Structure formats: structure tokens, C-alpha cells
């Protein structure tokens, strides 16, 4: 395994006993909160593999809910997150799953409120590093470490070129990009991670492009 820095080995500053089960879990929860755009009214959390086996002892449940409350890995409120979620009128349900997954530290999260729903799958790789591997049934790879946008669009000729042209024109450097689709000619999604923040003006320009139906921003 290759590490980019010493922090990938020793892990992040955090509350909790395990970088994989606590810090990584908190980051997955916080990415879900960011993509949802606000505090959800209800969260359904599905735990798989090692997460399912040890979530209470390692505080994985507290960490995920802390992330959903927008707490960072080192936030001292994480041990109280279940109570704080209740006080914030956020309903939380946990489900221990026996299905075998590709990675042992896997969690599925479904978020709801009156007019919005989001579903994602995340894995905790180690050292607090995570990947979001599925979003609303789209397969993807999103680390949550860099500013990013998700571009939902019709699977039509020229859409990818139009989006990258806007990025280039505004001197936005793309560090990672991938495209997935459910069916040829139907709905597709671009995952674009970049090296700097993206201004709202640029996001609006992207959203106005032909065949682009939604921009989901995850900008630090």
C-alpha cells in the first residue's frame, strides 16, 4: 500500500479509538450531510462487515451521526451525537446487515426530509481516508478530501466537453474526473474533483449548460 504522507499512516486528529471505524465513519457521515445540503429529518444507516460487528465498541454509530450533524473528526460533541441528534429532531435508525460487501468497513446511508432524499454508500479505507462508492444508485469514486462537484446530466454528445471547457476557461484545474451512467442515452453523472474552490458564478454557468440537469456541490 502506498501512502501520500505520514498522516495517512498515523491517521487524523480525532475523537474515538479507531481511524477506520471512528474518524472514517465521521467523514462519511459529514460527506453525506454536505451532499444533502442541510440537516436531514431522518437518517437510515446500514452497517456492513466490520462496521456491523464492532460499531458500538468503536463508536462508529456515534461518529456517523456526528458527521451527519456536521461535526469534524475531532469535535468533542461526537460522543454525545445520538442525544444531540434527538434534540435536533433528527430521527436515526441503524440496521446491521449480513450481506458480504467488497470492503469490510462499509456503510449505506439514506437521508430524508419533506422534499428531498439521498442515498449513498461509503467505505473507510484506513487512516481516516474514505471513498464514496455509490450515490443515488450511481457508481462513483469520491474521496471527500478535495473540493468537488457532481454534474447530473443527460447522456448526450458534447456535455462532457462543454463542462470541461467552462472549467478550463475559468482556470479550474481538475485533479480527478469520472463519468458513470445507468443506461445509454439516459441519465449520467460526472464526478469532478478540483484543486481550488469553485465560485458560485461558475457553478451557475455549469448548471445553465444544455443537458445539465443538476449540480451537486461539495466545495470546501
Average pLDDT score over residue span 104-117: 93
For residues 2 and 26, the model is more confident at 26
* Cα–Cα distance measured from residue 31 to residue 134, given in angstroms and rounded to the nearest whole number: 12
pLDDT, mean over the chain:
86
Q: What is the pTM of this model?
A: 0.77
Contact at 8 Å (CB) between 69 and 84?
A: yes
* Cα–Cα distance measured from residue 77 to residue 83, given in angstroms and rounded to the nearest whole number: 10
Average pLDDT score over residue span 82-108: 92
For residue 168, pLDDT over 80 is answered with: yes
HSE-up (13 A, CA, CB side) for residue 125: 14
Average pLDDT score over residue span 157-183: 93
Q: What is the band of 5 on the pLDDT scale with cuts at 50, 70, 90?
A: very low
* Cα–Cα distance measured from residue 151 to residue 191, given in angstroms and rounded to the nearest whole number: 7
DSSP calls for 72-116: -TT-TTGGGHHHHHHHTT-EEEEEE-----SSSEEEEEEEEETTE
Q: What is the band of 13 on the pLDDT scale with cuts at 50, 70, 90?
A: very low
* Cα–Cα distance measured from residue 101 to residue 78, given in angstroms and rounded to the nearest whole number: 27
- What confidence score (pLDDT) does residue 85 get? 97
* Cα–Cα distance measured from residue 85 to residue 107, given in angstroms and rounded to the nearest whole number: 19
Q: Give the percent of the chain with pLDDT over 90.
A: 56
- Tens of pLDDT, residues 113-139: 998 999 999 998 877 788 899 998 888
* Cα–Cα distance measured from residue 84 to residue 90, given in angstroms and rounded to the nearest whole number: 9
* Cα–Cα distance measured from residue 37 to residue 152, given in angstroms and rounded to the nearest whole number: 16
* Cα–Cα distance measured from residue 41 to residue 27, given in angstroms and rounded to the nearest whole number: 19
- What confidence score (pLDDT) does residue 10 get? 35
Average pLDDT score over residue span 20-40: 88
Three-state SS for 134-185 is EECCEEEEECCCCCEEEEEEECCCCHHHHHHHHHHHCCCCEEEEEEEECCCC
Set out the domains of the chain in order of their start, with CATH numbers. 8-142 (3.30.1330.90), 148-218 (3.30.70.260)
- What confidence score (pLDDT) does residue 104 get? 82
* Cα–Cα distance measured from residue 64 to residue 23, given in angstroms and rounded to the nearest whole number: 9
Amino acid at each position: 500500500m502506498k501512502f501520500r504522507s505520514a498522516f495517512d499512516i498515523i491517521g487524523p486528529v480525532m475523537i474515538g479509538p479507531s481511524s477506520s471505524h471512528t474518524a472514517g465513519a465521521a467523514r462519511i457521515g459529514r460527506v453525506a450531510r454536505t451532499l444533502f445540503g442541510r440537516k436531514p429529518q431522518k437518517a437510515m444507516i446500514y452497517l456492513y462487515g466490520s462496521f456491523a460487528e464492532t460499531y458500538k465498541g468503536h463508536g462508529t454509530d456515534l461518529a456517523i451521526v456526528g458527521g451527519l450533524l456536521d461535526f469534524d473528526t475531532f469535535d468533542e460533541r461526537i460522543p454525545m451525537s445520538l442525544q444531540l441528534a434527538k434534540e435536533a429532531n433528527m430521527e436515526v435508525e441503524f440496521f446491521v446487515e449480513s450481506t458480504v460487501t467488497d470492503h469490510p468497513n462499509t456503510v449505506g446511508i439514506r437521508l430524508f426530509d419533506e422534499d428531498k432524499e439521498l442515498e449513498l454508500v461509503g467505505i473507510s479505507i484506513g487512516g481516516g481516508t474514505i471513498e464514496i462508492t455509490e450515490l443515488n444508485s450511481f457508481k462513483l469514486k469520491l474521496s471527500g478530501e478535495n473540493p468537488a462537484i457532481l454534474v447530473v446530466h443527460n447522456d448526450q454528445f458534447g456535455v462532457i466537453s462543454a463542462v470541461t471547457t467552462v472549467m478550463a476557461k475559468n482556470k479550474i484545474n481538475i485533479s480527478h474526473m469520472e463519468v458513470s451512467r445507468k443506461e445509454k442515452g439516459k441519465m449520467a453523472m460526472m464526478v469532478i474533483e478540483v484543486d481550488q474552490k469553485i465560485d458560485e458564478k461558475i457553478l451557475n454557468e455549469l448548471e445553465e449548460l444544455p443537458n445539465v440537469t443538476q449540480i451537486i456541490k461539495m466545495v470546501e
